[in-house]
């Protein structure tokens, strides 16, 4: 089940084979795996490191934009952002 609330700011953390996006409360919001070995990449469904980094940055940017819109009056002035169910 996805987290009910996410708290900005969002961090991008590089690991040996992935980039991870976390919120201020250290909730893992997304993980983007990469593999530098081109022959294994297709087998594991992974991309190369620059693509994984770009995807993780874009995801973080989208989270920051959504959190900023909600704090600026769309939803209210709370520091946390409540996520909606995708009904």
29: its two tokens: 């919001």
Per-residue pLDDT at 39: 85
Q: Which domain holds residue 30?
A: 5-73
For the chain, the domain total comes to: 1
Among candidate residues 1, 29, 35, the one with its CA nearest the CA of residue 15: 35
CA distance linking residue 40 with residue 43, whole number of Å: 5
Helix (H, G, I), strand (E, B) or coil at 72: helix
Per-residue pLDDT at 5: 80
Radius of gyration, CA atoms only, the chain: 15
Residue 81 lies in a domain: no
CB-side neighbour CA atoms (13 Å) of 81 = 25
Residue 63 lies in a domain: yes
Instruction: Provide the β-strand partners of residue 21.
Output: 12, 30
Note down pLDDT in tens along the chain; length 87 residues: 455 688 889 999 999 999 999 999 999 999 999 999 988 888 888 999 999 999 999 999 999 998 776 655 444 444 454 545 444
Residue 11 lies in a domain: yes
Residue 78 lies in a domain: no
Residue 68 lies in a domain: yes
Per-residue pLDDT at 51: 96
Residue 83 lies in a domain: no
Residue 59 lies in a domain: yes
CA distance linking residue 57 with residue 54, whole number of Å: 5
Residue 50 lies in a domain: yes
């Amino acid at each position: 089940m996805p987290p009910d609330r996410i708290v900005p700011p969002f961090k991008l953390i590089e690991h040996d084979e992935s980039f991870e996006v976390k919120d201020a409360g250290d909730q893992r919001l997304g993980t983007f795996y990469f593999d530098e070995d081109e022959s294994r990449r297709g087998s594991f469904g992974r991309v190369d490191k620059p693509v994984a980094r770009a995807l993780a940055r874009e995801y973080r940017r989208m989270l920051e934009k959504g959190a900023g819109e909600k704090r600026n009056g769309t939803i209210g002035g709370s520091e946390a952002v409540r996520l909606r169910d995708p009904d």
